[in-house]
Structure 1
């Protein structure tokens, strides 16, 4: 890039030095001369009034014409166009012509041909190719390496095209490394099209969806019965006991059981009263005299009552 810039500057400055020699007007260049001629055409609309040796007042045409002060010695005008561009404005040219001078002489020095020649006078000399350069004893060393702060990166910075891997080779053996399936297109074994497999075949997917919908509708009633059965199985079972307290707890679970319990207690009270009165009139037997036999008789009576209940 630097070599191209050097070549462009060398050719441009040489062409400008040749072009300056063709200028016929030695005061200013052709481009500045065209600007002066174009601005001088408007001087007929203004009138110059002499104030001093180098000072003039320029008045525009009409009742509301503009008024400007021009100083030819200082190269100034109140419109400030002359100071900004270095080329006399229309007011300055009007004053210069009233004095009988040439407007090109009042341009700034950097617009003169002499200044243009001085700017392009230095010559950029040509150089030989790299093959003809003189070999030095000490080659140019690279810049010193400075360790960066922080932990160094273990992975290189990937370029935008690194993530897109090429497709696998057609004749690929098992010993070779296989490409990931992420970047490959699967082929359907039914329609032999790319983009899906036989499980994703449109007709197969539609059949599966219809079958699932029918199965869901048919199992709605059976599902309710199944849920009831599961709740019945998951319900905690009341543990059974051999004593009367366990039977009492099982019976009192409902209102009907409570009524049965009351009826059973009333029957037991009546049977107990009858047996006690009979015992008063009957003579004592062997079972009444023996406590163990009496206890066994009461137990058998209770079991018979519960069996009838």
Structure 2
């Protein structure tokens, strides 16, 4: 098989950004702590995550990860409904009721581009592989046509490392450095400490637009209170008896005339 590039240029930056945001979210309870406390929090979190993932790996069955296996089963169910016509040894025409795609097995591409973008064979590619099996062509395990990122072995390699426990500060070896390291002078910053992460440029625009919508809704609610009636806010009162502005007939103190 020809190995494909799983992430195109730009997608790797997006993946790295998502990983950083996910990791930063888990550190919300330790970012405002001292450096040693923050590092200990990170160590404990990574230890628990590795243990939990290894428990999931122990119960996983098949060459693909559990999520990839679930997606693969759905693709196979849809691939059975398609019809395949062989053009040559590497090109296949796959048809459904409303669509028609061309699959190139050698380049591992499909005209729908789902195989190119995700690395997981689409339903058209799986239907073409089924046709190859019926014609006694060498295919091998169908799951191996997926990118290595979906393999269970790759998932196990990612979490193959272990983080060993360490003793507490009371068991640390005293330093033999002749210089006494004193902590820097600490002064409390002005204002309340910010625990929320800094928003990206696009998120700031969305937040500003959301605030603007809320302000408009509040203005409308002030004009239309509960009950849907107009209020007299902004209108000058006038007396219905004498036509004098500044008060109404209820608060009129002039003597009534016959």
- What is the TM-score normalised by the length of structure 2? 0.50
Q: Which one has the bigger helix percentage?
A: 1
Rg bigger for which structure? 1
- Structure scoring higher RCO (CA < 8 A, sep ≥ 6) equals 2
